[in-house]
Structure 1
Amino acid sequence: EILMGQISPSGKLNETFVRSLSQIPILEYPRSLRNTYYIESIYTGYRYYDAAKIDVAFPFGYGLSYTSFFYSNGAKNGNSITFDLTNTGKMDGKEVVQLYVSSSAPFSVPKLLRYKKISLKPQETKHIELFWEREDLEEYFDPWILREGDYTFYVGSSSRDRQLSFQEHIDGANIEVPNAYQNATYVKELDLHDFHFLIAYEEKENIRPKRYGMNTTIQDLIDTNWIYRLLIRGIMKKMLKDDQDTYKNLIEEMPLRILRMYGVSQTTMEGLFEMLNGKWIQGWKKINQNEIKKVIHDLEGLHESEIQK
């Protein structure tokens, strides 16, 4: 029905589509078998591309439609943004209105605050109201802090589409950050020295973790315990078969927290870490074996699908 023009599409992209791989700075960062570095810090995804004003193919929140929408009569009253949305085309349509905020404070990125999908008949107008909280503007500096700056709230159909905008100066704290991180355009020039300076951390490759936790990588387990090394190698051999060279490094760099993405419960994770840290019986009682089996099964299935592709 969409292809034949009988109904209008209303989907939106939940990520940025770049024009080339050269626009992704993370590909050029140094890699380590023991650690996964997020040298770019807050400059990730659409927040990086929009802050650095990079010419991308399709921005975050972008979507196509067979009709058109008009934003008007915008107003800001405290924590409320109101406006009128009109379907100016000839078809029924749905628009996903999006509220973003950006700040003049250094080491800050534009971010999505709220969104809502609105259904409209041809020439129909609806009055829309979106709320935000002061906590939405806080940034994490251990703890969360609201910084002073000129804040711009804008409404549109994507992160790059500013149909209506409102400005407000907000009082708050002034935080000192390294010069290398004050501007998104510097991201490609960042290195480990800048990253360590940002988080006040000195890397010591020869020091192994004394206790395993969510951020422990598979490589940590391989390096620190011969039993874990044999077990992991056996699982990888069973899963990857003849493709170990292709996927070995990728798997070894993964932190254990990725298991949560595959449906492993918090209780099972706690039991796993207790076992890894020597409390075998206590940890074993907490583990749901079916969850672990499902993870291995899903990973095997994912690998097989990649091979078929």
Structure 2
Amino acid sequence: MQQRLLGGTGLAVSRLGLGTMGWGRSTDEHEARDQLTAFCDAGGSLVDTAFTYSDGASEEILGSLLGSAVARDEVVLATKAGVGVRRGQRYFETSRRTLLSCLDTSLQRLGVDHVDLFQAHVWSDAVPLEETLAALDQAVTSGRALYVGISNYTGWQTAQAATWQRAVPGRAPLASTQVEYSLIERRVEREVLPAAAALGLGVLAWSPLGRGILTGKYRSGTPSDSRGADAAMSGFVDPLLTERNRTVVEAVARAADGLGWSPLQVALAWVRDRPGVSSAIVGARTTTQLATSLATDELELPPELAAALDDVSSEEQRP
């Protein structure tokens, strides 16, 4: 699998990343082992998790597999902090205390002394930006992280954070920003991607399959084994089941039929090769599903089809 440098750093990551949000919830340890092995065998390196995924089970499962299923140095290990549950309430907080405490817990779960990439999972209006960034600096200077990044920041937030880090000598520059990006979620193209390009941040695209909608599985209803049918996850999917997005899905399906690919592969190849994208992060419930995504690495979307999909999914088409 092709490796790409993460933004302006020397850190190489695979152009497809392995997402582990479902590990410990919809994917058990046995299936996770098979996924991680298949991913690394295909040349994948970037494995992304977070403090909050499956209430910590994602990191714990991944930690149990490092050194047994795959060698630690085979993966670029990325995690995030700033989202969690405290006293039964979900919180979004990026204070120094929260970020560094979560990082220490993540390292313990993962069974490692450092991660390759530590990311602030969200922006917090309640916490001064300089405090959040100082915590990222401390993660690097203390040896707990080699690189740092941000996630789910708007364009102006991305520019402010990256500029702050570049303006002060000795600070750890931001390596990346992780954002939702797909054929049905292109709003990051307005400001986030230009800011990332101008300031040397690599883009990690999460949910490149439009939360599963671009696979075509919802074309004739909601499958019983899908996220949309899961009471805990339906709110993640339902807002995207719009007429505009159905038009995009049908265009993806037509392109797939013409190429002899799956709709998943068309949608994933489109995101993977967008300007500025270092890696498109794919998650799967089963190894069989993951194999379809990994097979995309050998495929290149014809330019004329990419342009047609650009047109049908453009922001001008959004109601």
Pairwise same-fold verdict (TM > 0.5): no
TM-score (norm 1): 0.25
Task: Pick the structure with greater CA Rg.
Answer: 1
Give the structure with the larger helix fraction.
2
TM-score, length basis structure 2: 0.25
